[in-house]
Amino acid sequence: MAARRPRPRRVESLPGADAAGANLAVVVLGLASAVAFGSGDFGGGWTSRRAPVLGVSLIVQVVGLAVMTLAALASREPLPDAGPAALAAIGGLVGVIGIVCLYHGLAVGRMGVVAPVTGVLAAIVPVVAGVVLEGALPPIVWLGVAFALLAVVLVTRAAGSEGGRSGLEFAVAGGLGIGLFTVFLGLIPEGNLFWPLAIVKLAAGALLVAVILVARQPWRVPRTVMPAAIGVAALDITGNGLFLLAAQAGALAVAAVLSSLYPVVTVVLAVTVLHERVTRVHVVGIAAAIIAIVLIGSASGG
């Protein structure tokens, strides 16, 4: 990306107009990333039921690395400094652990359980990080945490009443990993876009290759599943790019919380496409998860 040109001053601009525009940009970009993430996670879980999860995850990283590298070269974006590069690499490592756990949980468990629990934890982790870095936790966030705990209890209870594996343990691990990923990605300063995302994919792909080689895990994806895996990769990199733009346009916590609304998309797809059964308790649990995310986000953006 070429050096940014200084913006001309607008003599007749209204006070607060820039702030309002920035807030709108965060909302639009954050929600768009949620749609991409939710659709991609549904596709990742669906694909991982038909192919090894490590293979699907590796394709996601390789395709993302190729796309972001080409975009960086085409836009002539300068290479990031050591600090942003390190943040991207660490984010890639923790992020791929989270995404593998998420995909596996969606594949072996119920999407209607795994997605909300992962989303709640992915929203809480950036807020906790913000508290550590910036100060005390507002009371409304404690209310959000209470709703989050209620959501976990309700969706788990709803799944347990029907028997079968819920995938809750993978949802917890996935939420922690993805939450940490958003923290590191959100700390990357404005002006860095394609190269940091390429570094994220490079670090994640290297870790997957190491695990496959050392642990001798299956990874080959059947040709019939390959188009779906590539589609998941496209949605994943779109979501990452939209989130990074949202985080750079405004508050990290707001961008993280809005992007964490992706479970709504995943659950809707699971119900409409896979015909997963949703009980009343389950609906209340999902609603509690959404309320928790909104409460946490409203406080963080204040």
In a domain, 70, yes or no: yes
Q: Is the pLDDT of residue 2 over 90?
A: no
Q: Is the pLDDT of residue 4 over 60?
A: no
Percent of the chain at pLDDT > 90 equals 42
Task: Confirm whether 195 is domain-assigned.
Answer: yes
* Residue 196 structural domain: 26-300
Count CB atoms within 10 A of the CB of residue 11.
5
Q: Within a domain: residue 52?
A: yes
Does residue 2 fall inside a structural domain? no
Burial 83-110 (b: 16+ CB within 10 A, else e): ebbebbbbbbbbbbbbbbbbbbbbbbbb
**pLDDT confidence of 10, banded at 50, 70, 90?**
very low
End-to-end CA distance of the chain: 32
Please give the pLDDT value at position 188. 87
Average pLDDT, the chain: 83
What is residue 133's predicted lDDT score, i.e. its pLDDT?
73
In a domain, 68, yes or no: yes
Reported as a single tens digit per residue, the pLDDT across 99-121 is 999 999 999 988 888 888 888 88
Q: How far is C-alpha 169 from the geometric centre of its chain's CA atoms?
A: 18
Half-sphere exposure of 244 (CA within 13 A, CB side): 25
pTM of the entire predicted model: 0.79
What is the model's pLDDT at position 148? 80
**Is 1 inside a domain boundary?**
no
3-state secondary structure the chain: CCCCCCCCCCCCCCCCHHHHHHHHHHHHHHHHHHHHHHHHHHHHHHHHCCCCHHHHHHHHHHHHHHHHHHHHHHHCCCCCCHHHHHHHHHHHHHHHHHHHHHHHHHHHCCHHHHHHHHHHHHHHHHHHHHHHHHCCCCHHHHHHHHHHHHHHHHHHHHHHHCCCCCCHHHHHHHHHHHHHHHHHHHCCCCCCCHHHHHHHHHHHHHHHHHHHHHHCCCCCCCCCCHHHHHHHHHHHHHHHHHHHHHHHHCCHHHHHHHHCCHHHHHHHHHHHHCCCCCCHHHHHHHHHHHHHHHHHHHHHCC
- Whether residue 98 is contained in a domain is answered as yes
Residue 224 has pLDDT above 60, yes or no: yes
Residue 8 lies in a domain: no
Number of domains in the chain: 1
Q: Is the pLDDT of residue 1 over 60?
A: no
Higher-confidence residue of 135 and 114: namely: 114
More confident residue, 258 or 95: 95
